[in-house]
Amino acid sequence: MYNLREIKKIAVLLFVRNAYEELKHKALIKGESSKNVLLFKYLNKRIVNTVKDTDYNYFIIDSSQQHGRTFAERFKNAFKSIFQAGYDAVISLGNDTPQVNSKTLHDVVDHFEHNDVVVGKTNLGGAYTIGLTKYAFSKCSFEAVDWRTSHVVESIEERAIFQGSSFVQLDEVYTELSTHNDLNLFLQQLLTKHIRLEDDTFFLSLISKPNHFDNYPQLQMDIILHGVTEIRGSPSFI
């Protein structure tokens, strides 16, 4: 098993689709293709800026650079390309969990001191981050993980233990954005202060009644009683 003294080079893998590819697979804002593209561009830009706030090298591997017939093959090949560049550990991040921040990366690195596999879990059972040491990657069977299900994290843990890699899950469970309902839930959590972001301006701009923003008590009551039923795109984002 690796320890932190042996892990001298750590890189971050941003495994994402570009905004137009993302549009083919999900619609967070109903019936609004252009607004979805703006949202996906924002999410991609946000995760890149998050990594830029740290000292870690990062690699953006988007749809045009991913190779393989299945998601498992493409994901594995992305990790492999970075390990082949001489890194001792790789931390993957997606773009669909806006609560991920620079602390997330530091937490994963801290856990590498005693663990080969570090995972952060979403509310849907997916993984918002997966950190692997070179040792863990050499033994990992990506094809055996139940990707695209609500059992991703449990599946990774089972495989890690089976293959002799030490495993730990981060304490924080973050909200994943995969559907319109997910975005509705996220906005409700944001507005009722169940979750907090360093910058929530863009997401607040998605609510159809921005005049309510100065009256949080009333807005919170509206959310509790009625939910966020209308979402609009942000015309100011480029």
3-state SS of the chain?
CCCHHHCCCEEEEEECCCHHHHHHHCCCCCCCHHHHHHHHHHHHHHHHHHHHCCCCEEEEECHHHCCCCCHHHHHHHHHHHHHCCCCCEEEEECCCCCCCCHHHHHHHHHHCCCCCEEEEEECCCCEEEEEEEHHHHHHCCHHHCCCCCCCHHHHHHHHHHHCCCCEEEEEEEECCCCCHHHHHHHHHHHHCCCCCCCCCHHHHCCECCHHHHHCHHHHHHHHHHHCCCCECCCCCCC
pLDDT at residue 120, as a whole number: 98
Among 47-61, 140-154, 208-222, 224-238, the minimum mean pLDDT is found in 224-238
Of 20-34, 75-89, 205-219, which gets the smallest average pLDDT?
205-219
Alpha-carbon dihedral sign for residues 121, 61, 16, 202: positive
Mean per-residue pLDDT, 209-224: 48
Q: Nearest CA to 11 among 112, 122, 99, 97?
A: 112
CB 41 within 8 A of CB 237: yes
Q: What is the pLDDT, as a whole number, of residue 6?
A: 75
| Max Cα-Cα span within the chain | 55
Residue 172's φ and ψ, nearest 5 degrees, are -75, 130
Task: Write down the residue that tokens 């469970």 correspond to.
Answer: 173
Q: Mean per-residue pLDDT for 206-221? A: 52
Of 9-13, 77-81, 91-95, 211-215, the one with minimum mean pLDDT is 211-215
Give the Cβ contact number of residue 147 at 10 Å. 17
Please give the domain boundaries of the chain with CATH numbers for all domains: 4-174 (3.90.550.10), 180-226 (no CATH)
Residue with structure tokens 């701009």?
A: 205
pLDDT surpasses 70 at 55: yes
Q: What band does 215 get if pLDDT is binned at 50, 70 and 90?
A: low
pLDDT tens for each residue of 80-125: 999 999 999 999 998 999 999 999 999 999 999 999 999 999 999 9
Rounded distance between C-alpha atoms, residue 68 and residue 139, angstroms:
19
What integer pLDDT is reported at residue 210 of this predicted model? 44
Express each pLDDT in 169-208 by its tens digit: 999 999 999 999 999 899 989 888 888 888 888 888 877 5
Burial class of 215 by CB neighbour count within 10 A (0 to 12, 13 to 18, 19+): exposed
Contacts of 5 (CB under 8 A, 6+ apart): none
Determine contact, residues 15/95, Cβ cutoff 8 Å. Answer: no
